[in-house]
Amino acid sequence: MNSQKKKVRIMISKLGLDGHDRGAKVIARSLRDAGMEVIYTGLKKTPKDIVKIAIEEDVDIIGISILSGGHEILLPELCQLLKENDANYIHVIAGGIIPKDDIPILKQAGVKAVFSPGTTIQEIIEYFHSIGTNK
């Protein structure tokens, strides 16, 4: 019997037309350094692109970095597409510039957590690890 735990498999992506990816790359590298498998999809992905890649890559978590203000439309669409593709077991986590008033709306749509500016990388790593150990 193999006693090795499966590594948490995470996809980090930029949703919409946002062209700023430095933060997403820092998070991706930090998660990888913390022992997780990380796939970075790059810029300007649609919800449909992200769902397709997430299913193909068999990820546990989708981490979305969004700074463009399209979160109210794009994140609920992403969560809905996961449901339609029987993949709502994949956790959606968001980070970026998201007003506090919008967070309950996103969580109701299916986003599991939202990290705002000021969240430490260690807090993010611990949260992602907690998802992996609670699967």
Q: Is the pTM of this model over 0.85?
A: yes
Check if the beta carbon of residue 70 is closer than 8 Å to that of residue 17.
yes
* Strands, sheet with 61-66, edge to edge from the N-terminal-most edge strand: 37-40, 9-14, 61-66, 91-96, 111-115
Quick one: pLDDT at residue 4? 56
Strand intervals (E) in the chain: 9-14, 37-40, 61-66, 91-96, 111-115
Which residues on neighbouring strands pair with residue 25, listed in sequence order? none
Higher per-residue pLDDT: 114 or 131: 114
Residues 91-109 pLDDT 10s = 999 998 889 999 999 999 9
Amino acid identity of residue 34, one-letter, is A
Segment of 10-24, 51-65, 120-134 carrying the highest mean pLDDT = 51-65
Rounded to an integer, what distance in angstroms lies between the CA atom of residue 20 and that of residue 73? 19
Quick one: pLDDT at residue 126? 93
pLDDT of residue 87 exceeding 70, the answer is yes
Instruction: Give phi and psi for 36, each to the nearest 5.
Output: -100, 155
Rounded to an integer, what distance in angstroms lies between the CA atom of residue 68 and that of residue 102? 14
Which residues on neighbouring strands pair with residue 53, listed in sequence order? none
Residues 41-65 pLDDT 10s = 988 889 999 999 999 999 999 999 9
The DSSP secondary-structure symbol of 6 reads P
Higher per-residue pLDDT: 22 or 63: 63
Tell the residue number behind the tokens 């980070």, with chain if given.
Answer: 95
Amino acid identity of residue 128, one-letter, is F
Quick one: pLDDT at residue 5? 64
Q: What is the mean pLDDT of the chain?
A: 89
